[in-house]
Amino acid sequence: QQWYSSSMKVICMWLADRLDLQLHIYQLKTLIKIVKKTYRDFRLQGVLEGTLNSKTYDTVHSRLTVEEATVSVTDAGGLQGITMKDSDE
């Protein structure tokens, strides 16, 4: 649980440092993959939903979703099917 929380905190701080900058397409694609994989892996390891869906995770998820929407409007096909939307949804 601590590893998951600290991972999300690092990503959240990195995004906060770049709050006034739009992410490059490669940064966005990489972060989406990292966040989704981390979430899924720790969920499979039995980390509680309260820890997984923390305020930090919500902040990261929201920022990446906004960045994803911006890219989809400005660069058609730029993300090549990579999305924050979970395949389970």
pLDDT band, residue 89 (cuts 50/70/90)? very low
Q: Which residue has the higher pLDDT, 52 or 77?
A: 52
Long-range CB contacts for residues 2-11, cutoff 8 Å, separation at least 24: 3/42, 4/38, 4/42, 4/47, 4/51, 4/52, 5/51, 5/54, 5/56, 7/38, 8/35, 8/38, 8/54, 8/56, 8/57, 8/60, 9/56, 11/35, 11/60
63-87: pLDDT as tens digits: 999 998 888 777 666 666 677 776 4
Q: Is 74 or 23 the better-scoring residue by pLDDT?
A: 23
pLDDT for 76: 60
Q: Is the pLDDT of residue 12 over 60?
A: yes
